[in-house]
Amino acid sequence: MRAILYTGAGGPEVISLTEAPTPAVAAGHVLVRVRAVGLNRADLIQRKGGYPAPPGWPTNIPGLEYAGVVESVGPGVTLVKAGDRVMGLVGGGAHAEFVAPHERELVPVPAVLTDEQAAAVPEAFLTAYDALVVRGRAGAGDRVLVHAVGSGVSTAAVQLAKWIGCTVVGTSRTAGKLDRARALGMDAGIDTSAAGFRAGVGEPVNVILDYFGGPALSDNLAVLATKGRLVLLGTLQGGVAEQVDVGRILRGRLEVIGTVMRARPHEERAPLVQEFIRRVMPELQAGRMAPVVGASFPMTAMAAAHAAMESNRVFGKIVLTW
């Protein structure tokens, strides 16, 4: 099969489209012919030598999400059959013509979604659902702060938060991204191009979704309401917080929750996927929620897709097609 390989750690020059072995299909697993994939920050970090694939996944083939068609099924598979359209998450290896995930981690693709749209769903919506609903326990009437509101996960989080009945405040350094997020349902936007977000939040928030990490920790804690939850999904600005007011956490009975999706074992990920299918997929199928595809490339232009993500100009997901 054809696959994207990283020949080393570095810039776009280490990206190579080459031949690789087709993955074996174990019991309970399915061979999926990939039609489209999503690009994620994790893929760029892995290209630069960080964020390696967890054990059991390809170490040199990136890619965490895909959409495609079931090619064949392994022994014991009962949930899908050859020819079914599916999408899902993997720990690595999605940027290839075939992947072999477990059947309980497959999400059926509704007819209303194209392959490109389907490839924009798994990482964005599953991550946002887990962070906002499962970890953050957001409920109707809560105020939710979503950072980097133009990212794929954040565009999903805005829609999920409105579905729950929350008031959504978003941040971005780009006015155009704030405008587009308002069209998704965001109630208030904070332009952080010239200053931080702390002064613009206003009333304290109950849940925060943050990708920035250490440097934003103090300001995040400062705008949380009593018993608020800060859900950390990344460390894009650094993993170390120089000064943290621990007393603020104690007095406010605040929760700081860390989460990653990639390294989770099947025993944790499969139940989440099944819950997502039951609760969120009906909304996507009915068109009440929708993935946001900001840019699309052929797989042969993977380096250009990386450059587009690094430019931070794309609103929503970057997808690639075979």
The gap from C-alpha 32 to its chain's centroid, in whole angstroms, comes to: 20
- Token pair 């072999």 is found at 100
E strands present in 152-279: 167-172, 188-191, 205-210, 224-232, 255-258
pLDDT tens digits, residue range 57-116? 999 999 999 999 999 999 999 999 999 999 999 999 999 999 999 999 999 999 999 999
Task: Name the pLDDT band for 236 (thresholds 50, 70, 90).
Answer: confident
Task: Give the rounded percent of residues in the chain with a pLDDT score beyond 90.
Answer: 95
CA–CA dist 97, 207 (Å, integer): 39
For residue 11, what pLDDT is reported? 96
| Cα→Cα distances 35→57, 62, 83, 93, 161, Å | 20, 16, 13, 14, 30
Q: What is the pLDDT at residue 172?
A: 98
216: pLDDT confidence band, cut at 50, 70 and 90?
very high
> Residue 243: its pLDDT value, please?
85
- Answer whether residue 309 shows pLDDT above 90: yes
pLDDT band per the 50, 70, 90 thresholds, residue 12: very high
pLDDT at 237 over 90: no
DSSP-derived pairing of the beta strands 85-89 and 65-73: antiparallel
* Residue 291 banded pLDDT, cuts 50, 70, 90: very high
User: Which domains are present in the chain?
Assistant: 2-121+262-321 (3.90.180.10), 124-258 (3.40.50.720)
* pLDDT, average across residues 307-317: 97
pLDDT of residue 80: 98
**What does the pLDDT average to over 196-206?**
96
Mean pLDDT of the chain: 97
**pLDDT over 90 (residue 303):** yes
Question: H or E element: which one contains 87?
Answer: strand 85-89
Residue 317 host element (H or E): strand 317-321
**What local confidence, expressed as pLDDT, does residue 25 receive?**
98
What is the separation of C-alpha 275 from the centre of its chain, rounded to a whole number of angstroms? Answer: 17
Burial of 125 (0-12, 13-18, 19+ CB in 10 A): buried
| Residue range 109-158, pLDDT digits in tens | 999 999 999 999 999 999 999 999 999 999 999 999 999 999 999 999 99
pLDDT tens for residues 263-287?
Answer: 999 999 999 999 999 999 999 999 9
